[in-house]
Amino acid sequence: MNLAPTYKYLFRISIRSLMLVYLWLIGITLILPALFSLISGTIGDFSLANQLSSQQFSIVAGFFLFFYFSLNDNHFNFLIQNGIGRKTYWLGKLLVAGVTILIIEAINLVYLYAIYLPIAGTGNSSDTLQISYEGNPVASSMLSLLYGHYTGNELLDYVLTTIVVLFGLASITALGMAVGSIMSLFSRRMKLIIIIGTPIFLIVLAIYISNLNIHLFSTTWIYDFAKVIVGAGAHPVEEHFNPFAPMVSGTIFIAIMLFVSRYFNLKLKVRTD
Amino acid sequence: MSSIEIKNVTKQFGKKEVLAGLNFKLEPNKIYGLLGRNGAGKSTLLSIMTNRIPLTSGTVTVDGESIQNNDKILQKMYLMSEVSLYNSRLRVFQVFNETDKMYGKFDFDLANRLAGEFGLDLNARIGKLSTGYRTIFKVLVAMGVSAEYIFLDEPTLGLDANHRDLFYKELMESYANRPRTFVISTHLIEEVANLVEHVLIIKNGKILIDSGVDETLAKAHTVTGPEADVDSYTAGLNVIGHDSLGKIKANYVFGDMDDKILPDTVSIESMDLQKLFINLTNEGEN
């Protein structure tokens, strides 16, 4: 198995793509508004603190992980051209995904502690982090609210919440890998139909769900199952969530997604359509 | 060095059978010509042998090991295909570097020298190259790579006569310096006839000929003379085609000649590879 060069190649491309995404993010959220302010003559009102958000890096990272690791064709084509089989490709991709997740979470934490909190955390930012920031800030303020007080031990809660975040990112990545491997089986035309059709289907589904009576929904097994998955107790609004539950459900979900991803990955073929 | 064994390989695209039970062996350090008409299944066969696409049934093995997702074996092969599988944004020198990282021992000296001789800019992006230069780029990677089996699918596509001549010359020189197996799939049979040692002719997804070029041509004869005499002499022989000019006829025979006495009016000449190929693969005959 020629794993080392495969890993190096995939890692290099992954990190380059991630940096490009971050550059775009900085350009859109900081440089562009600053430029507009400069052009419109309102640069005096421009506040760096107001432009920063505690969650923007996490959200973009989530999208990046899903979409980047769903891509297959170019990488597979290059690797099979260079005598690298599907098993090595899949394993290399999995390792790169794991390392990329850790890098992303490290960037999230560095951003939070080194940039966001010193600039906006004590300022007049309207960010939701202000609401959730109670001495236990993690990359995702929502998760901090839900899981950040389970044991009552500040350090332990912090570590557990960070692990939940990592499981969340890993689940998104594994889902992307599974979806991408299935999509690789289709022709370019079919992929286009699926890419256009899926959002339409999801919008219709969202409208349907929003029309459901929420109280009626809360009596179904789906609601109870969802509570088990996320670690919510009998009274989810009043109680803190159990961080070990999403770790268990995340492990099962990731294992299933990776199985699907590997199964279809081994069926990859060079497409000329 | 090991040989590649192809056993009962079939490939179907939907209901269409492109390869119908192929059996042959590729030996080390030989130059093969893989010949066939358009749609005969040459490119499909090369893609299967390099594990780019799955086969429907059969096996491709090296030393008894399947090639399926087997890096150890796949690293012994390199396919230069008509379709480029490289990212079009990569530059030529970057592909040389990447190939070196994957296969190891890339012959940079040879590739860089040939780039100079062909006039290929090493800094050019692959996507910006013309058809001819894209072929040259792919040929250079194939010549420089350290694999033991090099499959060249239409290696002269879009090349002018000068570049084709240079390619053949360099191919032979490279082969002499570092013997390895080349499988050349091409339509320009006349040009490769003197290069290839062994010929594989595919027709309708089946191997029609699998033998040495000399051995094959030794069985290929052109019998020329007056129509009646030629027909009479070749009766019972394997006539694979004919040409006529007025009352003079040429019958193309493939196979052993019998011991009949040759009439004074009839002559027997050898046939070249291209003529043999045309007559063997013409539809509706044979």
Whole-complex ipTM = 0.88
Q: What is chain B's alpha carbon radius of gyration, rounded to the nearest angstrom?
A: 21
Residue among A9, A78, A87 minimizing CB distance to B69: A87
CA angle A73, A186, A11 (to 5 degrees): 20
Residues B160, B50 share a domain = yes
Residues B148, B9 share a domain = yes
**Among B195, B212, B229, where does a domain finish?**
B212
Beta carbons of B178 and B114 less than 8 angstroms apart: no
The range of the structural domain enclosing residue A88 comes to: 3-265
DSSP B260: P
Paired sense of beta strands B77-80 and B4-13, if any:
unpaired
Beta carbons of A164 and A171 less than 8 angstroms apart: no
Residue A95 maps to a domain? yes
B71 interaction partners in chain A (CB closer than 8 Å): 1-2, 83-85, 88
Residues B178, B113 share a domain = yes
Residue B68 maps to a domain? yes
Token pair 């506040």 in the structure block, residue = A47
B221/A246 Cα distance (integer angstroms): 78
Residues B231, B171 share a domain = no
CA dihedral of A125, A127, A131, A137, whole degrees rounded to 10: -100
User: In this prediction, what percent of chain A has a pLDDT beyond 70?
Assistant: 85
For residue A80, the model assigns a pLDDT of 95
Q: Side chain identity at A25, as an amino acid letter? A: L
User: In this prediction, what percent of chain A has a pLDDT beyond 90?
Assistant: 38
**Higher-scoring residue by pLDDT: B167, A55:** B167
Residues B243, B190 share a domain = no
Beta carbons of A161 and A81 less than 8 angstroms apart: no
Residue A271 maps to a domain? no
A4 interaction partners in chain B (CB closer than 8 Å): none
Residue A191 maps to a domain? yes
| Top-confidence range, A39-43, A142-146, A213-217, B91-95 | B91-95
Residue B286 maps to a domain? no
Nearest to A11 by CA among A85, A68, A73: A68
Residues B189, B259 share a domain = no
Q: Which two tokens stand for residue B151?
A: 């499959």
For residue A224, the model assigns a pLDDT of 79
The range of the structural domain enclosing residue B123 comes to: 4-212
Alpha carbon separation from A157 to A136, A150, A254, B5 (Å, rounded): 8, 6, 23, 60
Residue A38 maps to a domain? yes
**Higher-scoring residue by pLDDT: A215, A192:** A192
Q: Cβ separation of A82 and B54 shorter than 8 Å?
A: no
For residue B159, the model assigns a pLDDT of 92
A1 interaction partners in chain B (CB closer than 8 Å): 71
For A236-245, which contacts have Cβ atoms below 8 Å and span 24 or more sequence positions? A240/A146, A240/A147, A240/A148, A240/A149, A240/A150, A241/A146, A241/A147, A241/A150, A242/A147, A242/A150, A243/A147, A243/A150, A243/A160, A243/A161, A243/A163, A243/A164, A244/A160
Other residues' Cβ atoms within 10 Å of the Cβ of residue A48? 14
Residue among B52, B71, B75 minimizing CB distance to A269: B52
B205/B186 Cα distance (integer angstroms): 16
A84 interaction partners in chain B (CB closer than 8 Å): 71, 74, 102
Residue A273 maps to a domain? no
Residue B55 maps to a domain? yes
Residue A272 maps to a domain? no
All residue ranges of chain B with pLDDT < 50 are: 285-286
pTM: 0.87
- How close does chain B come to A80, measured CA to CA in Å? 7
Please state the domain count of chain B.
2
Beta carbons of B50 and B151 less than 8 angstroms apart: yes
- Residues A62-72: tens digit of each pLDDT: 899 999 999 88
Residues B181, B79 share a domain = yes
DSSP A44: G
Residues B196, B64 share a domain = yes
- How close does chain A come to B13, measured CA to CA in Å? 13
Which contiguous run of DSSP H or E holds residue A114?
A: none
Q: B167: domain CATH number?
A: 3.40.50.300
Which residues of A make CB contacts under 8 Å with B? Answer: 1-2, 5, 8-9, 74, 77-88, 266-267, 269-270, 272
Whether A57 has a pLDDT exceeding 90, the answer reads: no
Alpha carbon separation from B215 to B26, B209, B218, B220 (Å, rounded): 17, 11, 5, 9
Which residue in B has a C-alpha nearest to residue A73's C-alpha?
A: B85
Please state the domain count of chain A.
1
B148/B237 Cα distance (integer angstroms): 41
Residues B191, B75 share a domain = yes
Residues B233, B194 share a domain = no
For residue A131, the model assigns a pLDDT of 40
Residues B224, B197 share a domain = no
Nearest to A93 by CA among A264, A246, A247: A264
Residues B84, B140 share a domain = yes
For residue B14, the model assigns a pLDDT of 87
